Structure 1
Amino acid sequence: MITVLPLDTTGLGDRSYLAHDGEVAFVVDPQRDIDRVLDLARAEGVRITHVAETHIHNDYVTGGFALAEATGAVYLLNADDPVSFARTGVRDDDVIDVGAMTVRVLHTPGHTHTHLSYALFEGDEPVAVFTGGSLLYGSTGRPDLLGPDHTDTLVRAQWRSAQRLANELPEATAVYPTHGFGSFCSASQSEATSSTIGQEKLGNPALTRDEQSYVRELLAGLDAYPAYYAHMDPANSAGPSAPDLSPPAIADPDELRARIEAGEWVVDLRDGTAFSAGHLAGSLSFPLDGPFVTYLGWLVPWGTPITLLGATAEEVAAAQRELVRIGIDRPAAMATGGPEQWSGTAPLASLPRATYAELAEALNRPAPPAVLDVRRNQERAEGHVPGSVHIPIHEVLDRLTEVPAGPVWVHCAGGYRAGVVAALLSARGHDVVTIDDAIEHAQEIGLITPTKQERVA
């Protein structure tokens, strides 16, 4: 009997998979930290003989090459992918035997030109399909990551690929995508955690809309994606090695201060409430309890040395593991404990936090504060605080001259991004308040003006 086990990488919104027959295993789209895959294989008592990539990934550095090297497995990749390492090139309709399992290769372009899916057979019956960035739960992979010159071709190819999977595979076939659990590689997000071809036929736009409707709706829903994506294709095409997860050197208060003054990023991993209460002046807030690696990787100027501050060594190790997944291999330094230990004799900095109700009160004062909305464009289009300035989080560092002078209250949809931006601005001398609240509360008290209604009026 075939067993399929997912490995979730929640920080990036992706899944890898290990499928086995009780003796040998087939791994799909492994993340950079391959120790997780090796541990799972050991726990299952199976030997990894084949590692497969659905595509050259845009949102993370693969562990496929390193895993194949470590296990002696056959490394499967589209034969047309221009990579600089040895692998077993496969093409549409190739069939690979993996122990008692059979894998059929399906060319499913759309997310990339050379994207592959892998149908897993038990005997003559397909029981699962690994769809990578093709058919996702309630969605498909976005087609615009290779640039505007390719988008129109890829979005139409994506529709045809989804149709192919639905037409060629039985409705009971389990669908196992890599993206779609929060990844920006997904065109939209779904709450589903499992699905089948039959279920996708009922609600996936690629299977319920005609081609023109699907193309129009998908393209209209696309928004920005992380800047670090630009570095993933070159890294993956070069055959990345296994990461070094050993602890970085420990920095004392003098070194931390020198790194901040040199323009390096000293990143506090504690939750936003703790950071606001007291932190090393000039440090930045990217809490580990949220989408830490997505936003740190998106905002940091690539190549800037990063020092990690955590309450414990385990927190730093967790952050380090997330960073290697996007190719930030070695932190410059680390420190553990709390801000009192990190600052030495220097005074701590703090940041006020507020709710939307408190913002509403502040806006009624004779001298109301400025409001900075750091949500994405599509979020803003659904409604906004009247009079607020809109600079999406990923544009703030390039548009600092547009940040209002004087007190500025920063908001997003839930507080995480607002906290990140508030710390970035505070480190540059701005007087800021973080709105740490759910935007639904702003809607409930009438603080959000629906943009669509304004346009009608």
Structure 2
Amino acid sequence: MRTPEIAVLGLQQMFEDGKEVVVLDIRPQEQRAEWHIAGSVHQNVYAGLVSGDKTVFDDTTFDKDTPIVTVCAGGKTSLIAANLLNEKGYNALSLQGGMKAWNYAWNTAEIKDDNVTIVQVRRVAKGCLSYIVGSEKEAIVVDASLDPDVYMELAKSYGWTIKFVMDTHIHADYISRSMELAEATGATQLFTENAGVDYDFVPLSDRQVVPFGAAELTAIFTPGHTAESISYLVADTYLLTGDTLFTDGVGRPDLKADHEQGLKKAEQLFNSLGRILTLSKHDLFILPAHTSNTITFDGTIIGDSLSNLSKNIALLQLDKEAFIEQTMKRIPPTPPNYLQIATLNKSGNYEGINPADLEAGANRCAVS
């Protein structure tokens, strides 16, 4: 008898193709609350499945013509669930590797104008956002978080050669793949001149302009979330803000800092946000490095105009003292493994480490 499983790429393709499917999350509620697959439904049957209870789906009434994909943390208990559902006449498959594997599922959205095309590459469960920005036949990649092949294949599909790769900061919630991508493509790796990392890169100074194709990128130093945080202004229209400014909040200033250091970083963040708010004579479109929500396969870009964000994010309307106080009060829970991840990203080497073992779980970078 065949093993009723589906790989991440298989479920990803079903979503891309718009096929009807029920994604059934059978994890405990506290795990689902942490992160989940967008559009999935939940049945809290995990304990029953583990104990061998074969009646947990007796009241289930899904359409038997619609395939069901069962999901757990690692793909083992969901296999038990799929087998039980199949015995009841459903067409059920277990997601191989569970949420740990779905961490690397991705999709894209696009912005295009006369100067540049921006492809937003989104890790749909974790909410990580990276970018390929192309002009004529050249492209840059910012905040690569997936296997280099993903970016190389996307660039190829647009007829682009990847010229530069860069990060917006030393990430603490996922292993950066920028160095690998630079090595695989021969692209030049750029970073802020005060990055403090242990690997070689071409340093950028504040306001330095980097040409690619018929467009250009301008480096804007925006410390606060981290000391080396940098934003990238593309074609004087789009600002890739990393973890400095999100569509629903601002970056947290407390990681790798005690309380006093956190206060100083919060002040830096306030000043950087003020700089962003006055950066251009016309309205900028903000493209962050994360979203706090699971991402659907709708092709809608995650970003917003700076004018909208300045009205909708309450923290951006405060004076310095109030901003620092409220930001430090609203710090979300500390992300797991962040010190180890940040240390690995600073070294530029994660040999012998499986990123999936460190990266599972939602991101917690925003203060709203």
Q: Does structure 1 conserve the Cα–Cα contact (< 8 Å) formed by 2:341 and 2:358? A: no
Structure 2 length normalisation: TM-score? Answer: 0.61
Contact 1:66/1:240 (<8 A) preserved? no
Q: Please say if residues 139 and 212 of structure 2, whose CA atoms lie closer than 8 Å, have aligned partners that are also in contact.
A: yes
Query: Matched residue of 1:117: which SS?
Result: strand
3-state SS of 1:119 partner? strand
- Residue 195 of structure 1 pairs with residue 304 of structure 2: yes
1:137, 1:192 within 8 Å by CA — same for their partners in 2? no
Change (3 A) 1:199 1:192: farther
Q: SS where residue 147 of structure 1 aligns?
A: coil
Which of 152, 162, 168 is equivalent to 2:273?
162
Query: How many residue pairs align between the two structures?
Result: 241
Superposition CA RMSD, Å? 2.5
Which of 321, 324, 328 does residue 215 from structure 1 map onto?
324
1:96 corresponding residue in structure 2: 210
Amino acid at match of 2:242: G
Corresponding residue of 1:137: 247
Q: How does 1:45-444 map to 2 (within 5 A)?
A: 45-121=159-235, 126-148=236-258, 149-182=260-293, 193-240=302-349, 323=356, 326=359
1:14 aligned partner: 128
Residues 41 and 193 (structure 1 numbering): CA distance in 2 closer, same or farther, change over 3 Å? same
- The answer as to whether partners of 1:62 and 1:325 remain within 8 angstroms in 2 is no
Alpha-carbon deviations, 1:43-80, whole Å to 9, x = none? 11111001111101111110110111111111111121
**Partners of 2:287 and 2:302 within 8 A in 1:** no
Name the CA distance, whole Å, in 2 between partners of 1:51 and 1:70: 11
Instruction: Rate the CA distance shift 1:212–1:55 in 2: closer, same or farther, 3 A.
Output: same
C-alpha distance in 1 between matches for 2:144 and 2:291: 16
Is this contact kept in 2: 1:34–1:63, CA < 8 A?
Answer: yes
Unaligned ranges ≥5, structure 1: 184-190, 245-302, 304-319, 328-375, 377-457
Separation in 2, partners of 1:6, 1:135 = 16
The whole-number CA distance in structure 2 between the counterparts of 1:236 and 1:147 is 17
Superposed structure 1 runs of 4+ greater than 4 Å apart: none
TM-score, normalised with respect to structure 1: 0.49
Secondary structure of 1:215's aligned partner? helix
What does residue 454 of structure 1 align with?
none
Summarize deviations over 1:381-403 as a string: whole Å, max 9, x none: xxxxxxxxxxxxxxxxxxxxxxx
Equivalent pair of 1:118/1:129 in contact (CA under 8 Å):
yes
Cα separation, partners in 2 of 1:5 and 1:208, compared to 1, 3 Å: same
Give the letter aligned to residue 239 of structure 1. Answer: G
| Structure having greater relative contact order (Cα 8 Å, sep ≥ 6) | 2
Q: 5+ residue gaps in structure 2?
A: 1-113, 295-299
- Residues 12-57 of structure 1, C-alpha deviations (whole Å, 9 max, x = no match): 2210011101311111100042221112111111110011111011
Moved more, 136-145 or 163-172: 163-172
Q: Distance in 1 between matches of 2:301 and 2:209?
A: 30
Residue identity opposite 1:16 in structure 2: S
Percent of aligned pairs with the same amino acid? 25
Q: 1:33 aligned to 2:144?
A: no
Structure 1 position 216, deviation (Å): 1.8
Contact conserved, 2:288 with 2:303, CA < 8 A, in 1? no
- Quick one: distance in 2 between partners of 1:22 and 1:44? 10
Cα offset, 1:90, TM superposition: 1.0
Displacement of 1:6:
0.5
**Cα distance, 1:171–1:208 mapped onto 2, change above 3 Å:** farther
- Alpha-carbon distance in 1 for matches of 2:309, 2:282: 9
Change (3 A) 1:220 1:201: same
How far residue 144 of structure 1 moved from its aligned partner, in angstroms, is 0.5
Q: SS at the partner of 2:291?
A: coil
- Measured after TM superposition, the shift of residue 324 of structure 1 is 6.5
Over 3 Å counting, the alpha-carbon distance change for 1:23 and 1:192 in structure 2 is: closer
Question: What's the CA shift for 1:94?
Answer: 1.1
Aligned-partner Cα distance in 2 for 1:15–1:51: 14
Alignment correspondent of 1:273 = none
Larger Rg belongs to: 1
How far apart, in 2, do the equivalents of 1:235 and 1:129 lie? 27
Distance 1:158 1:192, change over 3 A: farther
Q: Secondary structure at the match of 1:227?
A: coil
Contact 1:62–1:240 at 8 Å: present in 2 too? no
